[in-house]
Amino acid sequence: MGAISQKSAEFLLRSRLADAEAGNVDALFELGITYSTGRGGVAVDLVEAHKWFNLAALSGSSRGQECRAEIALEMTAREIAEAQRQARAWLAVSGGHRRAA
């Protein structure tokens, strides 16, 4: 990945993370899309994608629920468990009060 692409990917992630931490459900979903598709030069990471879709789903996003279910079909039970653990950790740090599924 070139330097410009790397900076673009980093900016995209920082921007969406800040919005997600502020409680923006769309940002949670968009992070899931970013990691599931490699959008913006971000490496595909299904564990990260599942985590963000899970957080979006917990915040009421039906699209998050659908995408979480779709990518779960491509993941091992261990990967799903890790994504759930990471979602719970993010909720604990970000002050979220919902339980990650």
User: Would you give per-residue pLDDT tens digits along the chain (101 residues)?
Assistant: 555 567 777 887 888 999 999 989 999 999 999 999 998 888 999 999 999 999 999 999 999 999 999 999 999 999 999 999 999 999 998 875 454 55
CB count, 10 Å around CB of 51? Answer: 26
For 28, what's the count of Cα atoms within 13 Å in the CB-facing half-sphere?
Answer: 29
Specify the long-range contacts of residues 73-79, CB closer than 8 Å, at least 24 apart: 74/46, 75/46, 75/47, 75/50, 79/46, 79/47, 79/50
